[in-house]
Amino acid sequence: MKTALITGASNGIGLELAKVHAENGGNLVLVARNEEKLMSLKTELESQYSVKVYVIGKDLSLPNAAQEVYDETQRNGIIVDYLINNAGFGDFGFFAETDWNKELKMINLNITALTQFTKLYVKEMVKRGNGKIMNVASTAAFQPGPLMAVYFATKAYVLHFSEALDNEVRDKGISVTALCPGATVSGFQAAADMEDSALFKSKNLPTSKDVAIFGYKAMLKGKTVAIHGIMNWIMAESIRFAPRSFVVKIARMLQKKVN
Ligand SMILES: NC(=O)c1ccc[n+]([C@@H]2O[C@H](COP(=O)([O-])OP(=O)(O)OC[C@H]3O[C@@H](n4cnc5c(N)ncnc54)[C@H](OP(=O)(O)O)[C@@H]3O)[C@@H](O)[C@H]2O)c1
């Protein structure tokens, strides 16, 4: 029975990943700020499947939060087979006008906590000679993103970091998957203040469940980069052949708010 630690499991893609893992008969460590939501997910999953769910309420944008979570799992003798760094958020607006404190929290969560979690658990995985890591990046990782400059840059970090680490640990029995969803129905849009963005106006957006099922399968297969959706895949791949200035203009057009 494999144990998965999932950050950002109280909502959206992370919550659905927790359900998919429980359905597969795996134990869970769920981490997010909203402990109440995590506890009700624990009750739901433990009553539906024969799995154990351990809940840790934590603000992962605070310094050393990942270390505190790691210490708690160590104290409780929990071996993490799958580390899923999913928690993350964005912010919409001109960089000259956006709120630095929100951006600092974003960098702390999307980059620092993700990297620290990976550092702590990958060491254990290397010692054991097995383990899987999934880092939730985004299709935002493939190009610069005007009007969400910091968010896009954090996701470029996640993608590059994951690919490099995968190359380092693959021969040690470990795989690292960068899951790259495109626009997906979740709490993300509200948190990033971008419900009116052209990107999210499409009626046919995938659900968090669609993305979670796709990502979970990709992680089990040990895929390095998993882009959800054929159109997203074509966009992400074709960008390499287009002039960078053109790509940035298109990205801005898609980000723009439409009413
Ligand atoms: N939805 C999209 O369109 C989309 C597209 C590409 C990539 N992604 C990525 O997918 C991942 C999951 O996002 P989502 O779409 O599922 O959004 P969501 O519904 O807003 O869920 C975000 C999760 O992260 C947790 N979180 C936020 N701030 C946190 C903090 N400071 N400490 C601990 N946990 C925190 C939230 O829980 P609490 O509020 O309880 O802390 C929640 O469980 C993110 O990395 C996001 O960047 C999303």
pLDDT higher than 90, residue 137:
yes
Are residues 92 and 146 in contact, defined by beta-carbon separation less than 8 angstroms? no
Nearest CA to ligand 1 atom 42: 8
d(CA 169, CA 173): 7
Q: Which of 15, 12, 31, 166 is nearest to 90 (CA)?
A: 12
Average pLDDT over residues 28-43: 98
Q: Which of 70, 108, 82 is nearest to 24 (CA)?
A: 82
pLDDT band at 136 (very low <50, low <70, confident <90, very high): very high
Superfamily of domain 3-255 in CATH is NAD(P)-binding Rossmann-like Domain (3.40.50.720)
Residues 6+ apart with CB under 8 A from 153: 144, 145
d(CA 95, CA 9): 29
As annotated, the active-site residues are 151
Give the tens place of pLDDT for each residue, 84-114: 999 999 999 999 999 999 999 999 999 999 9
Q: Give residue 200's pLDDT.
A: 82
> How many angstroms is it from 12 CA to the middle of ligand 1?
7
Q: Residue type at 137? A: A
According to the 3-state scheme, what is the secondary structure of the chain?
A: CCEEEEECCCCHHHHHHHHHHHHCCCEEEEEECCHHHHHHHHHHHHHHCCCCEEEEECCCCCCCHHHHHHHHHHHCCCCCCEEEECCCCCCCCCCCCCCHHHHHHHHHHHHHHHHHHHHHHHHHHHHHCCEEEEEECCHHHHCCCCCCHHHHHHHHHHHHHHHHHHHHHHHHCEEEEEEECCCCECCHHHHCCCCCEHHHCCCCCCEHHHHHHHHHHHHHHCCCEEECCHHHHHHHHHHHHCCHHHHHHHHHHHHCECC
Residues framing ligand 1 (Cβ under 6 A)? 8-14, 32-34, 59-61, 86-89, 109, 136, 138, 181, 183-184, 186-188, 191, 208
Q: Give residue 41's pLDDT.
A: 98
Structure tokens at 206: 């995938």
Q: Taking the domains of the chain in order of start, what are their residue ranges?
A: 3-255
Q: How big is the CA angle at 162 (ends 146 and 131), to the nearest 5 degrees?
A: 145
Are residues 46 and 23 in contact, defined by beta-carbon separation less than 8 angstroms? no
Nearest CA to ligand 1 atom 46: 88
Q: Give residue 153's pLDDT.
A: 98
pLDDT higher than 90, residue 119:
yes
Give the tens place of pLDDT for each residue, 52-91: 999 999 999 999 999 999 999 999 999 999 999 999 999 9
pLDDT band at 259 (very low <50, low <70, confident <90, very high): low
pLDDT higher than 90, residue 258:
no
pLDDT higher than 90, residue 210:
yes
Q: Please choose from 5, 35, 62, 86 the residue to mutate so as to test ligand 1's pocket, defined by most ligand atoms within 8 A of CB.
A: 86
pLDDT band at 148 (very low <50, low <70, confident <90, very high): very high
First to last CA, the chain: 49
pLDDT higher than 80, residue 198:
no
